[in-house]
Structure 1
Amino acid sequence: MKAKNDYDEKKLTKAEVEKVKKNSQEFIRFMIEHIQRKRGIEIEKTKIRVKYGDKYGEVLLLGKNAYVIHDIDQEEKRITKAEILPNGGLGKITKSSLEDLEKELLKIEILSKVFIKEPIFEDMKKIFGKNVEILINY
């Protein structure tokens, strides 16, 4: 508050004002990066990575919906969406887009823990084939 009063009373030099602006911009940039990293880590906890054949896919469990990215290495990603059923499985799979996924990521409150039940493994076999492999900590 003293700095604000000094600024209002024109007791700060131009160099001091510029130094404060620079420091505040660095602080804001640092905080934004920190929040983005934290959010990224939270989102990583909701991902199930799979390997099927020579392709890699992801299933993101976001609240009541699951988003399936069929081939993460492909430039134009094919994304589908399904409701997560009470038994832990996936409901009807519908076509989705990267824009829908991004909107969901922005509005969803990420849970601290995500649990998966057996029916989702059966659904992954239906989506990716019977030889699907689950990747852990890659």
Structure 2
Amino acid sequence: MHVKRRRFSSLIVACLLLVGCGSSQNEHEIKRIPLADGAVSVRYVEIIGPAAYAPHTIRFYFVATNGEQLLAETEWRNDGANPGAGNVTTNVHHEEIVEVTLTGQEQDDEHWMIERLDGAVKAT
């Protein structure tokens, strides 16, 4: 019984060291769009490890002096490449409405509208 546990433990350690069974994630800002009372931050979650070709998570934040608010997130496919500023197009209207278009290699463009509605900032 003791020998089986050692073998199993050795296999787990070898898997973690050699193959990297887990994935780590880091969030990076792609673009920051200034508004009248804050900014919209478009970020992606970088996936490091065996799942690197999986879809990236794109997150939209509203950043103000009193903190930041996660507005929305979406899954985005770009053939395993990390997104950059060239994948995000923005148009700002009256410093209150931001249109964001995400362009990837494996899917149709995704369009988002970030605006102030009823005193709150929302993404649709």
TM-score when normalising by structure 2? 0.36
Question: Whose radius of gyration is greater, 1 or 2?
Answer: 1
Structure having the higher helix fraction is: 1
Structure having the higher strand fraction is: 2
TM-score when normalising by structure 1? 0.34
Q: Which has the higher contact order (CA 8 A, sep 6+)?
A: 1
